[in-house]
Amino acid sequence: MLERIFGVEKPVIGMLHAPALPGAPGFEGDWERVRARVLADAEALAEGGVEGFLLENFGDAPYYPRRVPPHTVAFLTALGQEVKRAFAKPLGVNVLRNDARSALAIATAIGAEFIRVNVFMGARVTDQGVIEGVAHLLLRDRATLGSVVKVFADVAVKHSAPLAPRDLAQEVLETIERGRADAIILSGVATGQETSPERIREAKAVARATPVLVGSGVTVENVADILRVADGVIVGTFFKQDGVVHRPVDVERVKAFMRVVARAREGFL
């Protein structure tokens, strides 16, 4: 499935971290600056050689735990549409913290290929409180819209904790079999934090044909080892200037990363 979307096995997806949008506490009053930053980051990622993008309202903290207001949906749709028009690369949408239904609507409207859902099944304790899964509503929305957008679902998502201890393998299995997710995402405890190789192997053992991607903590030093096990990676922090998440994308860091990925792919594909 990933190769059909991205044109390559074990794709690298680069994050488009939008600055605070209008209406968010951190918005600096200049929509054109937000737009220019997202497009500049997309240009740097594309020049560096990534296979896809993932757009999210990263700058909007503190996030709404569930549905975002209409103006957030509107501005994200406008950004996503510009990215799709300017770059011939697959695009995903993530509406933080967990507005998967809006993400699906945006992705379907602009012709994006996938969405990321932070809490797809079960429930997690987060900095926004307890967030419950939305699989039952999201997949009915997808059927109603006749959408072909794929669902990349986090399991044990970063910046969260379980309400009670649960076995990772069982969560992955339920997310695939009962939630009908198209792909699984694993992450570390926070943005930029490494994902345990043991957890990747544990998830892969039960995921079978469903792809497992790593969604945090991927660097030039560990990407070759991660891709030996995982089916793809989502990279944000490492691609930024000096590895600082709020800074613009550094095209030279992207190129260096992709050179390592190319050598790794030659070795195990």
Note the pLDDT tens digit of each residue in 112-162: 999 999 999 988 888 888 989 999 999 999 999 999 999 999 998 767 677
pLDDT single digits (tens) 68-109: 999 999 999 999 999 999 999 999 999 999 999 999 999 999
Is the pLDDT confidence value at 208 over 80?
A: yes
Which DSSP string do the residues of 30-56 spell out, in sequence order?
-HHHHHHHHHHHHHHHHHHT-SEEEEE
Separation CA 103–CA 105 (nearest Å):
5
The percentage of the chain sitting over the pLDDT mark of 90, rounded to a whole number, equals 84
Sign of CA dihedral 88, 12, 215, 248: negative
pLDDT of res. 192: 54
Contact 14, 248 (CB under 8 A): no
Quick check: pTM over 0.85?
Answer: yes
Mean pLDDT (the chain) is 94
Q: What are 121's two structure tokens?
A: 């099944």
- Say yes or no to pLDDT of 110 above 90: yes
pLDDT tens-digit readout, 35-62 = 999 999 999 999 999 999 999 999 999 9
Mean pLDDT within 247-267 = 96
Q: All domains of the chain, ordered by start, with CATH?
A: 2-268 (3.20.20.70)
Q: Comparing C-alpha atoms, which of 222, 253, 224 is closest to residue 237?
A: 253
| Bridge partners, 114 (sequence order) | 92, 150
